[in-house]
Chain A
Amino acid sequence: MARTVSTRRKLIVTAIAWAIGLLIFFPILWTILTSFKTEGEAIALPPKFLFFDWTLENYGVVQERSDYLKFAMNSIMLALGSTFFALVIAIPSAWAMAFAPGRRTKDLLMWMLSTKMMPPVGALLPIYLIFRDFGLLDTRGGIITVLMLLNLPILIWMLYTYFKEIPGEILEASRMDGASLGKELLYVLTPMAIPGIASTLLLNIILAWNEAFWTLALTTKDAAPLTQFIASYSSPEGLFWAKLSAASTMAIAPILVLGWFAQKQLVRGLTFGAVK
């Protein structure tokens, strides 16, 4: 029997949910609002919320100073590239762990996850030196490799959970039908796991887009994504809040839009298997 929920209770819960949502969203909203203010109004006390002179001046200045499209292009290439290669590795890996587990599979999964617990700065020096010696600094290929490796554990974990839900008999049926390993993955497993793969892909794109530590450390100009674009607005002479906000808004806009459209898919993906 369904539990009845009183209207009062619903109202309270809805209000709390909205409050938390707004609290989380507020910094982004404030950044967007600030980007339309003049530098003076941006630091005015008390701050003005909506009633200020709206201006697009900051965006003009930002675009003039640094070419947004070039940075955005790098961000897109890094996010898509690292996601693509990560999936190419993660799908077969997760397949093996879900359908042909060995005695050490659980340990292997934990070990992969443990790499995410190490502070990344611990690996910065060796990776920087490797990049320097192999001429990979400030190259798209180099940074795609790092981002791919960085998110691989999360991808494999997510896909592993999805694949676990797929009955093994279906894959065995395809084996009886004469599908080779590659064809089994391509024609049977992947199409069945499309919802799971899609949400994994989206999450990875978002993670790769937002990754700042490695992109800031390993790129300067040619392969610099939007994180560098924002970082370049913090200068020793002090911060220009309005321009920094404009740059930030431009940097997060694409991923915000993508996240908005993909949220249903993302929520489904992250709770997959919890409810049947």
Chain B
Amino acid sequence: MGTISLKNARKAFGDAVIIPGADLDIKDGEFVVFVGPSGCGKSTLLRMIAGLEDLTSGAIHIDGKDMTNEAPSKRGLSMVFQSYALYPHMSVRGNISFGLKMAGLPKAEIEAKVAKAAATLNLTEYLDRKPRQLSGGQRQRVAIGRAIVRNPEGFLFDEPLSNLDAALRVNMRLEIMQMHKDLGATMIYVTHDQVEAMTMADRIVVLNRGCLLPDLSARPK
């Protein structure tokens, strides 16, 4: 199950300390939002959980197992990037199926999973298009499709909606919350938008200069 624990996780580049030491326990199925001003280290913290940044010291346990030194793909987590980070030379189908292909799944199974993900995200008719032929909202869906198709224990969102216009953002926010309800997976969501944080989160973690401020969920909502 998708519990995620940070045990005094620390990140420093030389003398510059980004995260002085974070302690955090995320329950299975919880929707946690990291919020804070730009440069407060919230994205770095997310990337440390993803395995894209090494820890200077401390540990990360996922599902009770020590994953501090595991490769990103071994952690059972999917990530949605701010820039979407789609593979520009692959079709929507190729983008969504890439992770499954890397995992060496049989072709028929990949087909079925891609079809199912595409149907949930209203992407079926765009499967053969390239990312550059899609609108911003559709690209965002492909990025989410790429994340859910691997059926991960947890999702990591790095400011996924900041490139969308206001109307679309509200829509996608609802869709992500619906997705959380349907899948019941753990989600960590990074944003600098407080409204987004308030509306979506089970629990809000506020960061300031790399420090986690006291838990806000203890207060009445």
A57 at the interface (CB under 8 A from B): no
Q: Give the chain A neighbours of B81 by CB distance below 8 A.
A: 169, 172-173
Q: Would A174 and B77 count as touching, CB distance under 8 A?
A: no
Interface flag for B206 (CB, 8 Å): no
Verify A176–B77 contact, CB threshold 8 A. Answer: yes
Number of interface residues of B (CB under 8 A): 22
8 Å CB contact of A173 from B77, B87, B89, B103: B87
- A contact residues around B71 at 8 Å (CB): 175
Binary contact track A168-183/B, C-beta < 8 Å → 1, others 0: 0110111111111001
Does A119 interact with chain B (Cβ within 8 Å)? no
- Number of A positions contacting B (CB below 8 A): 18
Q: Is B140 an interface residue (CB 8 A)?
A: no
Q: Which of A169, A178, A187, A188 contacts B73 (CB 8 A)?
A: A178
Residue B78 at the chain A interface, CB threshold 8 Å: yes
Residue contact A177 to B85, C-beta cutoff 8 Å? no
Asked if residues B146 and A172 are in contact (CB atoms below 8 Å), the reply is: no
List B68-127 residues whose CB lies under 8 Å from chain A. 71-73, 77-79, 81-83, 85-89, 98-99, 102-103
In whole angstroms, how far apart are the Cα atoms of A172 and B158 in the complex? 13
Contact of A167 with B78 in the complex, beta carbons under 8 Å: no
Kindly identify, within residues 181 to 202 of chain B, every residue whose CB is under 8 Å from any CB belonging to chain A.
none
Contact of B88 among A172, A177, A183, A192 (CB under 8 A): A192
Q: What B residues does A177 contact at CB under 8 A?
A: 73, 98-99, 102, 146, 150
Which residue of B is nearest A166, CB measured?
B88
Q: Is B204 in the interface zone, CB < 8 Å from A?
A: no
Residues on the B chain within 8 Å of A169, using CB = 81-83, 85
B76 to chain A, nearest CB (A): 11
Q: Mark B125-153, 1 if CB is under 8 A from A, else 0.
A: 00000000000000000000010001000
Known: A169-B81, A183-B102. A174 touches B52 (CB 8 A): no
- Which residues does chain B contribute within 8 Å of A192, judged by CB atoms? 87-89
Binding site for A on B (CB under 8 A): 50, 52, 71-73, 77-79, 81-83, 85-89, 98-99, 102-103, 146, 150
Query: A174-B102, A192-B88 known; 11 other A-B pairs, CB under 8 Å?
Result: A169-B83, A170-B87, A172-B72, A173-B79, A173-B85, A175-B52, A177-B73, A178-B102, A179-B73, A179-B102, A188-B87
Query: Would you give 12 A-B contacts (Cβ < 8 Å), ordered by A?
Result: A167-B83, A167-B85, A169-B81, A170-B86, A172-B52, A172-B72, A173-B86, A175-B72, A176-B78, A176-B99, A177-B98, A177-B146
